[in-house]
């Protein structure tokens, strides 16, 4: 056979490996196993409790059908609208500050040329998040007391001479936003940093060759490509923030009720359930929180294109 004939002869097809199909079936079985575990946990700790809360919300104390009576009762409660206002004010301050500062800090850290400096800053940002919510609030109780705080001079300069003056209800939304930002921003900075690493270096280099500076690169390339991650940040932070409970509850106990024990919606639901023994009203509040959270999350999903394919 000549060299030309050998070249023209089609290459032999790869032989089928019997183990390949079994390997694929094995991977498929493992993936179904992980999905089944997640589904079981979601049903046990998400769907079933929500359905039970729905049952409680539409029934009375004797189990009879009550329709919307429980919802009407809690909405007409004189404590409900102030609690809604407190949580809404806190969420606006916190979400705006979180999105702006986390995005800016992540881009700034990512732009650092020194690897050790970037790693050190990420660790410093993340450390406050290692504290549990209650521990963090206890630390801030110390920091907010002008007589004991290391920043007491600053607090006195701002006109606060006592702990009670600092934690008056009008000051609480920004205080809670600062506490939440201090504990939660570091983890999100690390997540955003990882998202920035997924942006092609060739795209960034091409922009630099075209004369784009750091601000133009951040505004025209990095921010658009971070849109889905920012949307995800908003959804998760909204879900956590709307359940505001630990911070006002501990401040209420530490201040001898200067902070009311029904400051937030979750606290109000707690009062209904364990002070008034009205679990039906508490379930109605929890469902209202769920509906509000789902509606606001839908806005983030639609505006952020979270499930759009590139």
Per-residue pLDDT at 132:
58
Per-residue pLDDT at 13:
47
The CATH number that applies at residue 289 is 1.10.3720.10
CA 56, 76, 267, 297 torsion: positive or negative?
A: positive
Per-residue pLDDT at 11:
47
Answer whether 263's CB lies under 8 Å from 252's CB: yes
151 is a domain residue? yes
Per-residue pLDDT at 6:
46
223 to each of 103, 254, 305, how far by Cα in Å?
Answer: 8, 42, 14
Answer whether 258's CB lies under 8 Å from 164's CB: yes
What is the distance between the alpha carbons of residues 93 and 181, in angstroms, rounded to a whole number? 10
Answer whether 19's CB lies under 8 Å from 26's CB: no
Answer whether 238's CB lies under 8 Å from 296's CB: yes
Per-residue pLDDT at 82:
94
Answer whether 147's CB lies under 8 Å from 132's CB: no
φ, ψ for residue 59, nearest 5 deg: -125, 165
115 to each of 112, 119, 122, 299, how far by Cα in Å?
Answer: 7, 6, 11, 37
221 is a domain residue? yes
What is the distance between the alpha carbons of residues 228 and 309, in angstroms, rounded to a whole number? 11
90 to each of 29, 148, 287, how far by Cα in Å?
Answer: 45, 26, 20
20 is a domain residue? no
Question: How many C-beta atoms surround the C-beta of residue 223 within 10 A?
Answer: 13
Structural domain count, the chain: 1
Give the total residue count for the chain. 310
48 is a domain residue? no
Per-residue pLDDT at 51:
94
156 is a domain residue? yes
252 is a domain residue? yes
What is the distance between the alpha carbons of residues 234 and 249, in angstroms, rounded to a whole number? 24
Q: Which domain holds residue 273?
A: 69-304
Spell out the residues 6+ positions from residue 287 whose beta carbon is closer than 8 angstroms to its own.
50, 53, 54, 57, 71
φ, ψ for residue 189, nearest 5 deg: -65, -40
Q: Is 63 left (phi over 0), alpha (psi -120 to 50) or beta?
A: left
Per-residue pLDDT at 52:
94
Answer whether 230's CB lies under 8 Å from 99's CB: yes
**Low-confidence spans in the chain with pLDDT less than 50:** 1-13
Closest CA to 122 of 191, 55, 205: 191
Answer whether 101's CB lies under 8 Å from 181's CB: yes
Q: Is 159 left (phi over 0), alpha (psi -120 to 50) or beta?
A: left
What is the distance between the alpha carbons of residues 274 and 295, in angstroms, rounded to a whole number? 28
38 is a domain residue? no
Per-residue pLDDT at 207:
87
What is the distance between the alpha carbons of residues 299 and 199, in angstroms, rounded to a whole number? 25
CA 173, 174, 178, 181 torsion: positive or negative?
A: positive
Element (H, E) at 273: helix 265-274
Per-residue pLDDT at 7:
43
What is the distance between the alpha carbons of residues 122 and 206, in angstroms, rounded to a whole number? 27
141 is a domain residue? yes
């Amino acid at each position: 056979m000549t060299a030309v004939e050998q070249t023209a002869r089609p290459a032999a097809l790869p032989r089928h490996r019997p183990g390949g199909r079994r390997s694929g079936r094995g991977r498929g079985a493992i993936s179904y196993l992980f999905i089944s575990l997640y589904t079981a946990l979601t049903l046990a700790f998400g769907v079933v409790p929500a359905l039970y809360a729905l049952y409680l919300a539409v029934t009375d104390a004797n189990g009879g059908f009550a329709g919307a009576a429980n919802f009407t009762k809690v909405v007409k409660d004189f404590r409900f609208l102030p609690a809604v206002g407190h949580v809404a004010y806190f969420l606006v301050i916190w979400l705006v500050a979180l999105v702006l500062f986390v995005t800016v800090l992540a881009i700034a850290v990512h732009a650092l040329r020194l690897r050790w400096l970037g790693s050190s800053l990420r660790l410093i940002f993340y450390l406050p998040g290692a504290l549990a919510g209650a521990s963090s609030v206890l630390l801030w109780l110390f920091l907010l007391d002008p007589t004991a705080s290391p920043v007491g001079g600053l607090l006195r300069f701002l006109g606060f001479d006592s702990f009670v003056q600092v934690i008056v209800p009008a000051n609480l939304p920004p205080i809670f936003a600062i506490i939440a930002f201090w504990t939660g921003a570091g983890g999100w900075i690390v997540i955003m940093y990882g998202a920035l690493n997924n942006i092609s270096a060739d795209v960034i280099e091409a922009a630099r060759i075209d004369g784009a500076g750091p601000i133009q690169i951040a505004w025209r390339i990095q921010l658009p490509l971070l849109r889905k991650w920012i949307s995800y940040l908003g959804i998760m932070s909204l879900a956590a923030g709307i359940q505001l409970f630990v911070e006002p509850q501990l401040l209420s106990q530490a201040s001898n009720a200067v902070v009311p024990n029904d400051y937030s919606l979750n606290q109000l639901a707690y009062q209904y359930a364990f002070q008034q023994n009205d679990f039906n009203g508490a379930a109605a509040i929890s469902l209202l929180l769920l509906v509000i959270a789902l509606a606001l999350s839908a806005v983030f999903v639609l505006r952020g294109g979270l499930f759009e394919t590139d």
